[in-house]
Amino acid sequence: MKSIYLDNAATTPILPEVIDVISSSMATIYGNPSSTHQIGRKAKSLVETARKNIAKHLNVASNEIIFTAGGSEADNLILQNSVKNLGVTTIISSKIEHHAVLHTIKNLVKEFGITALWVDLDENGDINYTHLEQLLQQTDGKKIVSLMYVNNEIGNLLNLKKVSDLCLKYDALFHSDTVQGVGHFEIDVKQIPIDFFTASAHKFHGPKGVGFAYIKKGFGIYPILHGGEQERGARAGTENIHSILGMEKALEIALTNLEEESTYIQKLKSSFIKELKSNFKEIKFNGLSESETKSSYIILNVRFPKEYAMLLFNLDLKGIAVSGGSACQSGSNKGSHVLNTILSEAETTKTSVRFSFSKFNTEQEIDTVIDVLKQIIN
């Protein structure tokens, strides 16, 4: 049975070219980048070249990129520093952020007694920008807005420019979890000023366990992991050089082929939407995931007309990999916090499935998934 992988928002298959880079570096680059001898200096040079190339793709300075173990660590590094070292007393966010942000805010409120304010959302999970401005206007003291660029469950796109403008107007810092955006959309902080954003390589066909934080020059960032002076003192621990080089290669490929691949994937998604509507009359789409302009071309969150308790299990038996929400909460029995926030109680009892696509998917696979869904549901 040939498997069909439609869970690319959880993680993506690693590219062969990236595997080659990682394998080659593992065989030849074994020095510690902190060592001062030639072998160590060679490793250090490769890490810094990767940093420069990643920064160039994002139109930022290389010393604004801090390598981490992934997006969750990067979000923690930024938000914890904003409170502990930058004097932030209020965080403005939304109830449908990734748990790397929500749980960090919760713990900062508990530990430091800061204020957390939640911006209103409409029934599609879209930010109420008028309410965001009201929150900014009425908040005294140092504040930071933390809103994700691409929602990992429903695909909604944040208007980065609008939020950036509001933060500048009301003298607020701006952090965006861009884990689902980097490698899939152009991000240029010279055009749209953002103080902090994050990335994780395995979301754009790179290796797991590596990512980075963008921290705008001028902010003093202190480590949340203590030890050595790696990453300019911002993050202790010997650099994961092989994965960093793999991430560099994956991002290069993603952004070089961005227009062609995004067009192709959007075509697959649009075709899938058309077939779903044709075959399942009462089907609905959660959030703005049906939209071509207001959602990620990768994510489609589908709500079926009633509960099908074994749908994910039966799809898996047929070799079709999808999810009911974020992979990070797959062990939870509470369901999706995103859907629980934006849907009525009656709607949350219906079965929702997140399908997420990549350049490796085909029209034939889409047809197969439709046929299997018809068999299971009908």
Tell me: do 52 and 146 sit in the same domain: yes
Q: Which of 241, 256, 271 delimits the end of a domain?
A: 256
| pLDDT value at residue 225 | 86
| pLDDT value at residue 212 | 98
Tokens linked to 175: 């952090």
| pLDDT value at residue 211 | 98
Tell me: do 43 and 121 sit in the same domain: yes
| pLDDT value at residue 233 | 86
Task: Tell me if 240 sits within 8 A of 22, measured CB to CB.
Answer: no
| pLDDT value at residue 218 | 86
Tell me: do 296 and 351 sit in the same domain: yes
CATH number where 89 lies: 3.40.640.10
| pLDDT value at residue 258 | 97
Domain hosting 370: range is 4-12+258-377
Tell me: do 365 and 251 sit in the same domain: no
Q: With the CA atoms of 137, 139, 140 and 143 taken in that order, what torsion angle do they form, in degrees rounded to the nearest 10?
A: -100
Tell me: do 156 and 265 sit in the same domain: no
| pLDDT value at residue 335 | 84
Tell me: do 130 and 277 sit in the same domain: no
Domain count, the chain: 2
CATH number where 317 lies: 3.90.1150.10
| pLDDT value at residue 1 | 66
Tell me: do 234 and 348 sit in the same domain: no
pTM above 0.75, yes or no: yes
Tell me: do 299 and 227 sit in the same domain: no
Question: CA 290, CA 146: separation in Å to the nearest integer?
Answer: 25
| pLDDT value at residue 232 | 85
Tell me: do 352 and 342 sit in the same domain: yes
**Annotated catalytic residue within 225, 328, 372, 376:** 328
Residue 167 known to be catalytic: no
Q: Kindly give the parts of the chain with pLDDT less than 70.
A: 1, 325-333
Tell me: do 241 and 170 sit in the same domain: yes
Residue 121 has φ and ψ, to the nearest 5°, of -125, 150
User: What's the CA angle centered on 104, arms 84 and 330, to 5 degrees?
Assistant: 165
